[in-house]
Structure formats: structure tokens, C-alpha cells
Amino acid sequence: MKIDAKTVSDLAKLARLDLRPEEAPVFAAQLPTILEYVGQLMNVTTTITPAPPLVDQPWREDQIEPSAAADDILNQAPDRDERFWRVPSVF
Amino acid sequence: MELSSLTIGSIRESLKSKEYSAVELTREFLKKIATTDKHVGAFLRVRPQALEEAKNVDDRIAAGQPLRALEGVPVAVKDNIVMHGEIATAASKILENFHSVYTATAVSRLQDNGALVIGKTNLDEFAMGASTENSAFQITHNPWNPALVPGGSSGGSAAAVASGQAVIALGSDTGGSIRQPASFCNVVGMKPTYGRVSRYGLIALASSLDQIGPFARTVEDAATVYQVMAGPDQNDATSRRETADDVLAEIHQPIKNMRIGLPKEFFGEGVDPEVAEVVKAAAKKFSELGAKVTEVSLPHSPQALPTYYIVQPAEASSNLARYDGVHYGLSNRAGGSLANLYRQTRAAGFGAETKRRIIIGTFVLSAGYADAYYHQANRMRAILRDEFEQVFTQVDLILSPTSPTPPFPIGARTEDPLTMYLADLLTVSANLTGIPAMSLPAGFVNDLPVGMQLMAPEWGEAMMFRAAHAYQQATDWHVRRPPAVA
């Protein structure tokens, strides 16, 4: 696929990332080379099925414990309303 | 006091014999950082509270309490590893004033054993890089030649230990970020088996690849720090229940008849011939020590780097989605809507490499491309795992260069990202397959350090440390010090 400034811009939108005007063309120039390099994997044919990730934790009872961190966390909020984080409107 | 020669053991002896106190020692290290770091740039932040913590160590010793494993030892911690109530930036503007609400398990374990955190070290932003040049805040210089990079992403930690600003340090390794700077700075750096050391408190880059590990000037010190940190943690669901062998008990055992394999793919294309020669000479030394050295082959290993640069950006794009200007950190609200909050915060807060990897990751996970890239990469990981497992039925350890080249100049690889990615050529396999790996000093090329990499099967840290320790007893590369700074 052709990776141009528009593709890069679209991908950035998907990632909720604005690019500065000078960044999109630079990335558009660099990305095709990188993607071509990693794309060499496509030349390997295999039917192997990777094992699912191993989670090795013992089970425990679901016991509610107080969390001391709540106030510390809320104190870092860029904008808050009591115990809510406040954000600009969605629309 | 020659700070660069101190070890965990020598500090222990000196504290016992009252040659100096923990407070005096800490003061010396803080002074050293104050005078030398303008040239090295290893530290983002110093911790003067280490002096109060040192007083607690002295009080304990005065009260006759037994010395703990890391009593009074000054440690530098990479700034993507968090400490309660203190700033952790991951070298990014998006976290410039972020205060963590908890302490990483790895750090707690060090502190519970008497270690004193004297500062937080510089890194490539979010641990993405091989030179520490991607830090949003400062450049770190290689203590061996300030015009050169210290490696990355844990360049600050490596430089701090190499220049005598700390005795031990913590780094993180996702694709070589402990081992490669260790190689560039002539120190020991080690990545445990995936799941051996808790990731709780490590700011996530790629969750299936990241591990915290130690830097030290000696193998024995690295093993001691590893031993303290290793073991299951219920706060990390990916930490494994395997109890760590007592590596310190095994470390002095001889290595006669240990089988060491040199994979031909790690000595050929893309590897500097002079670097290859240094490591082949190290292989000869292992033979002299009684090991059986043979050539092996890992035929799919040339696919490891492309695999890594699909998996890691994919996982990074997911992990970095949390930096959204809502809960903590940078928050750019000028745009007036939620969508703009996300986009403008991230635009301003992330550096170029971080953005580049998020975009690559988004692409390889996107509909229509995920199977060809991301799922194919996971299939390749499984192939590589099987291949390494096969080779480990023939040999006990694998030996290779750590870095394809000696340290390179600051600015030399920043224009073309792919040239920077190639620095990870030899290290990513260990992260993709989960096996433990370490780098230790093996020689010099044009007066610049060259490290060798040892890789062991899963849970094989004890054997790895044993071989590395035997090599260090028979050589003195690791005793060489960089030219004095200031």
C-alpha cells in the first residue's frame, strides 16, 4: 500500500494524535522504508499457532480492601469536580 | 575514596568496620553527581532524601541489626520506574510533573534490603530508542567519550555506573535497552527471564517484552541485585511463580564442560568484523576455562528484528493510549472538545520517535493489515521460541556480540530511524522469546567498549551468571575505568 502524508494523517487520527504540519511529510517519507523492512516477515509461510499468553497467578478471594491512593490520584487531576475528573464536552 | 571501585561487598565490609558511615558514603556520591553530571548528564533528578534514609541505615547498624543484602548501597533508578510521591517522567513532556502514587516492587525490594536511591536517570522517551537521544529533557554522554552516545534506552543508568556516580542501577529492557548501553559503557547489564522480576511500577512500553534488570560493574553485584528483585509479585499478573535459584550460591562454581554455542547468524551480516573478533576471543577464553565452545545456528534469527519492530510498536500504541490529558500529566484544553484534548495533549507531549512508533503500531494492528503484520509477527515469535529451545538442547548458553557496532556519535543515527533500529539486531531475540540475557565487558575496539552477550534458556539465570563470573575472574576488561570526568 502506498504510505503518503494522507495515510500518516489518517493513522494519526486513529491514534488520537495531532501531528505538527512539518511532521506528517517527514513521517510519510520514513514510514515506507520501515514498513518495507518489517514487511519481510510476509515472505515466511507458516501454519504455526502461537500459544496463548501464560497467566500464572494463584486465585484469591475477592476481598475489598481500602485503597489509600484515591486522594493522591485525584490530586493530580488536571481538572476535577470533587471526586470526578472533568473533561471538555464530547460534542 | 575511589567511588568507581566500590562494590556491594566492599561497602558492606567498610560499614561493618566503621571505615565510613552510610551517611558519609551517600554524601560522597551526591557530591560526585553534583560535580560530574554536567558533563555526563546521566541524572534527571537527584534524591537528597537518600541522606535521611542513609541515617536509618547507620542507626540500624549502631543498634546491632544484621546487615541486609544491599545495606547502604547507592542505586540509580531509570525514570520510567516509579516511586511513591515522587516525579517519574519516562523522559517525556507528557509526564513532566507526574507524581507516582506507588513504588515499583523492584525498587521496594531494593530499599527493603538497605539500598539507597540517590537519583532517577535519563532514558529515551518511554524507553523507545538505542541512544538516550530521544529524551525530552537532556542528552546523556558516554563516559568513555562524551561525543558518543551511552546507548539506550537505559543510557543514564549505564553511564551513572560506568562513571562512578552510582554503584548499581536499575534499567528496563524491551529490545536490548539494558544490554546495549551496558555494552557501550563497559558495565554489566542483565535482563531476567520474562516474568522473573515484577513489572509493577515499570511504566509500560511493550507488556509482553518489558523487564526490569540491574546494572553493575561486576557480575557478582549484578547477581546480588537480581537476587533481591527476583520472584513472584501478586501485583503483576505476568510475574511467574518459579522461585529464583540462589544464583549467588552457584556463581563461584567452575564452568568445566559447560556447552557454549556461537550462533553463526549473530557474527555475520550487519555485525562489525572487529566487534565479532573481540567476542570470538572471549569464546577462546571460555574454552581455556574448560567450556566446550561450538558453532550453532538459529536460521530464523534474521527475522527477529522485523518481528520486534512490529510487536513492540503495536503494544506501545496500545499502552500509550492512556496518556490522554484526562487523569494526570500534560493536559492541553485550548481546543475546547474532548477529541481535541486527546489529540493536542498527545501532539504536544510526545516526541517524534514516540509518535512514529504509535503510528507504526496503529498501522500494523489496523483492519486489513493486522494479519499480515501483527499476527504474522506473533507466529514468528513462536517459531523463534521453538528454534531457541531446540538449540538449548545442544548447548547450555549462547554467546554473541551484544551490539553490532561499538558506540556511535551523538547525532549519527537520528536522521534515519531504521539505522537506529538496527542497533537492536542482536538483542531483540531474548525479549521476543522471553529468555534471560546479559551483557558484560569483553574488550575494546579503538579504545571503545565492546560487550558480549550471554543468553540462557528460560529460568537459566544461575548458569548465565556462573559463566559470566568465571570470565570476569580470568579477565580485567571490567576493571578499566573511563577517563576521569571533572
Residue showing cell 576488561:
B477
Task: Check pLDDT > 90 for residue B22.
Answer: yes
Q: pLDDT grade, residue A59 (50/70/90)? A: confident
Look at strands B397-401 and B259-263 and give their pairing.
Answer: parallel
Q: What does the pLDDT read at residue B401? A: 98
What is the Cα B101 distance to its own chain's centre? 24
C-alpha to C-alpha distance for B34 and B29, rounded to whole angstroms = 9
Q: What is the ipTM of this complex?
A: 0.94
Q: Which of B225, B191, B223, B232 is nearest to B209 (CA)?
A: B191
Q: What does the pLDDT read at residue A68? A: 75
With H, G, I as helix, E, B as strand and everything else as coil, classify residue B453.
Answer: strand
Summarize the confidence of residues B357-373 as an average pLDDT.
Answer: 95
Q: pLDDT grade, residue A60 (50/70/90)? A: confident
B379 Cβ under 8 Å from any chain A Cβ: yes
Select the more confidently predicted residue: A1 or B375.
B375
- On average, the pLDDT of chain B sits at 97
Residue showing cell 546507548:
B151
Interval B44-103: pLDDT, tens: 999 999 999 999 999 999 999 999 999 999 999 999 999 999 999 999 999 999 999 999
H helices present in B272-303, as ranges: 273-288
* Residues ≥6 apart with Cβ < 8 Å to B124: B91, B130, B131, B132, B133, B134, B135, B152, B153, B155, B177, B353
Interval B189-217: pLDDT, tens: 999 999 999 999 999 999 999 999 999 99
d(CA A64, nearest CA chain B) in Å:
15
> Which range (B283-292, B365-374, B394-403, B477-486) has the least confidence?
B477-486
Summarize the confidence of residues B261-284 as an average pLDDT.
Answer: 97
A5 Cβ under 8 Å from any chain B Cβ: no
Q: What does the pLDDT read at residue B485? A: 64
DSSP string, B55-100: HHHHHHHHTTPPPPTTTT-EEEEETTB--TTSB--TT-GGGTT-B-
DSSP string, A16-73: T----TTHHHHHHHHHHHHHHHHGGGGG------PPPPP--PPP--------THHHHH
- On average, the pLDDT of chain A sits at 89
C-alpha to C-alpha distance for B85 and B75, rounded to whole angstroms = 18
Contact between B185 and B402 under an 8 Å Cβ cutoff? The reply is no
For residue B390, the surrounding DSSP H or E stretch is: helix B376-391
Cell of A51: 500459544
Highest mean pLDDT among A36-45, A56-65, B39-48: B39-48
Q: What does the pLDDT read at residue B484? A: 75
Is residue B177 among the annotated active site residues?
Answer: yes
With H, G, I as helix, E, B as strand and everything else as coil, classify residue B254.
Answer: coil
C-alpha to C-alpha distance for B51 and B118, rounded to whole angstroms = 9
Interval B124-176: pLDDT, tens: 999 999 999 999 999 999 999 999 999 999 999 999 999 999 999 999 999 99
Q: Which of B343, B410, B126, B75 is nearest to B228 (CA)?
A: B75
Q: pLDDT grade, residue A91 (50/70/90)? A: confident
| Nearest-by-CA chain A residue for B320 | A15
Summarize the confidence of residues B425-438 as an average pLDDT.
Answer: 98
Summarize the confidence of residues B400-425 as an average pLDDT.
Answer: 97
Q: Do A17 and B347 touch (CB under 8 A)?
A: yes
d(CA B435, nearest CA chain A) in Å:
15
Q: pLDDT grade, residue A1 (50/70/90)? A: low
Task: Check pLDDT > 90 for residue A14.
Answer: yes
Task: Check pLDDT > 80 for residue B243.
Answer: no
DSSP string, B165-224: S-SEEEEEESSSTTHHHHHHHTSEEEEPPTTSB--TTBPPS-TTT-EEEEEESSHHHHHH
Nearest-by-Cβ selection for B342 from A16, A31, A73: A16
Q: What does the pLDDT read at residue B314? A: 98
Interval B298-319: pLDDT, tens: 999 999 999 999 999 999 999 9
Q: What does the pLDDT read at residue A3? A: 81
A4 Cβ under 8 Å from any chain B Cβ: no
Q: Do B355 and A55 touch (CB under 8 A)?
A: no
Q: Which of B181, B124, B155, B149 is nearest to B352 (CA)?
A: B124
Is residue B264 among the annotated active site residues?
Answer: no
Nearest-by-Cβ selection for B359 from A1, A12, A58: A12
Catalytically annotated residue among B14, B100, B108, B153: B153
Q: Do A73 and B327 touch (CB under 8 A)?
A: yes
Q: pLDDT grade, residue B379 (50/70/90)? A: very high
Select the more confidently predicted residue: A61 or B43.
B43
Summarize the confidence of residues B377-406 as an average pLDDT.
Answer: 97
C-alpha to C-alpha distance for B88 and B81, rounded to whole angstroms = 7
Summarize the confidence of residues B233-261 as an average pLDDT.
Answer: 91
Task: Check pLDDT > 90 for residue B1.
Answer: no
Which residues on B lie below 8 Å from A9 (Cβ)?
Answer: none
Residues of chain A numbered 15-74 and touching chain B (CB < 8 Å): 15-20, 23, 26-27, 30-31, 33-35, 37-42, 44, 46, 48-51, 53-58, 60, 69, 72-73
Summarize the confidence of residues B341-345 as an average pLDDT.
Answer: 97
Q: Please name every residue paired with B443 in a beta bridge, in sequence order, or none if there are none.
A: B450
Residue showing cell 495533549:
B345
B264 Cβ under 8 Å from any chain A Cβ: no
Within 10 angstroms of residue B351's Cβ, the number of other Cβ atoms is: 19
C-alpha to C-alpha distance for B264 and B225, rounded to whole angstroms = 32
Contact between B438 and B415 under an 8 Å Cβ cutoff? The reply is no
Residues of chain B with pLDDT > 90: what percent?
Answer: 97
Q: Please name every residue paired with B191 in a beta bridge, in sequence order, or none if there are none.
A: B437
Summarize the confidence of residues B452-457 as an average pLDDT.
Answer: 98
- DSSP 8-state assignment for residue B477: G
With H, G, I as helix, E, B as strand and everything else as coil, classify residue A74.
Answer: helix
With H, G, I as helix, E, B as strand and everything else as coil, classify residue B393.
Answer: coil
Residues of chain B with pLDDT > 70: what percent?
Answer: 100
